[in-house]
Structure 1
Amino acid sequence: MLIDFTQYQLYRFDELAGRIQAEPEKYLNFDSVSDFYKAVWLQDFPQGTTWTATGLDDGAEQFDAIIEYRGHFLRISCTGKIAIYCSICAE
């Protein structure tokens, strides 16, 4: 049996993104941008995943984050209400 490593990593990304989308309250408890970057679950994404976050400075309750791996992405927007978008980026 041949395993496509890239497809497996994309599956891992999508699976974790789906868990975050299904239960955001379990993953998205941040008081600062620094808290986001220290989130242990970020390390569960495949190696090579990139992420950025904005907001949360000076006690702000709003933030945006983008997590991306090989054209798949998870966009999190928290502006009073949490909105999470998970998709495959156009290449």
Structure 2
Amino acid sequence: MLLSLEAFKQQKFDQVAAKIMADPEAYLAFDSVSDFYKAIWLDEFPQGTTWSATGLDDGAEQFYAVIEYGNHYLYISRMERVTVKLGIRHHYNKNY
């Protein structure tokens, strides 16, 4: 069975996301959004992955991040507790 490069990259994204979901505290130990963008573990995601983050700066204690590849995404929030969710975007309104 042949896997496409896209399917391989999607699988890699899901594997890295699963590692983060299994032990979020090991990955989310930073004090600012700048620290998030410098996190070495972001390089584990396949090329083409995008991420964005907000919070923590100017004394904020809350943090939100979304890491995406293809139609899969990892949502991270840290408030009183850490929440990490892996999801798939469904494009119901595509015009083909």
Q: TM-score range, shorter-chain basis?
A: over 0.9
Letter in 2 for 1:16: V
Q: SS state of the match for residue 2, structure 2?
A: coil
Structure 1 stretches lacking a partner, 5+ long: none
Shift of 1:61: 2.0
Q: Which has the larger radius of gyration?
A: 2
Partner in structure 1 of residue 14 of structure 2: 14
Letter in 1 for 2:10: L
Question: What SS does structure 2 have at the residue aligned with 1:46?
Answer: coil
1:30 Cα offset (Å): 1.1
Q: How many residues align?
A: 91
Could you tell me which residue of structure 2 aligns to residue 37 of structure 1? 37
Match of 2:81 in 1: 81
Question: What is the aligned partner in structure 2 of residue 53 from structure 1?
Answer: 53
Instruction: Give TM-score scaled by structure 2 length.
Output: 0.90
Q: CA deviation at 1:58?
A: 1.8
- Counterpart CA distance in 1 for 2:53 and 2:36 is 7
Could you report, residue by residue, the CA deviation over 1:4-41 in whole angstroms, capped at 9, with x for unpaired residues? 11111000000110110110011001100000000001
Secondary structure of 1:85's match?
A: strand
Partner secondary structure for residue 13 of structure 2: helix
In structure 2, list runs of 5 or more residues that go unmatched. 92-96
Q: Extract structure 1 runs of 4+ deviating beyond 6 A.
A: none
Instruction: Say whether the 8 Å CA contact 1:64–1:76 is kept in structure 2.
Output: yes
| 2:53 maps to amino acid | A
Distance in structure 1 (CA, Å) of the matches to 2:59 and 2:38: 17
Q: Aligned with 1:26: secondary structure? A: helix
Provide the alpha-carbon RMSD of the alignment: 1.0
Give CA deviations for 1:42-85 in whole Å, capped at 9, x if unaligned: 01101111100000102322100000000100000101100111
TM-score, normalization: structure 1?
Answer: 0.94
